[in-house]
Structure 1
């Protein structure tokens, strides 16, 4: 395995595959399901609530996907 990651050799191939299969194309009639969360901040220590919150969001997104809805779970970034 190479010690450095060469994104151009991998990502371009996968992006073309996704585009050719229409995975980025919206489908009409399906209402999407989206969870947007703000960027993380440094206001305290991690606690069980963080894990619980992520578990709830993961469960909701997976449930909607299993029901055939297009989903997006978008974590915030700076």
Structure 2
């Protein structure tokens, strides 16, 4: 039977205390990370709202014009790549 003065009991208690400290430290880190995550999610929502506002201000005809320009540029790039081969 282990007594309170046993070296094994003392080592066990020391290790248990070390584990408790580590668990407490990890819980605090989790709390900090959850707060940071919440802040980042809020920032992301604001950015997404800003992006949605930009696209909602562009009319359908402007979107088609932009799409046409992008497709024209892609076509020019494709032709240039084919010519250089």
Establish whether TM, by shorter chain, passes 0.5: no
Higher relative contact order (CA 8 A, sep 6+): 1
Task: Specify the structure having the higher radius of gyration (Cα).
Answer: 2
Q: Which of the pair is proportionally richer in helix?
A: 2
Q: Which of the pair is proportionally richer in strand?
A: 1
TM, length-normalised to structure 1: 0.30
TM, length-normalised to structure 2: 0.28
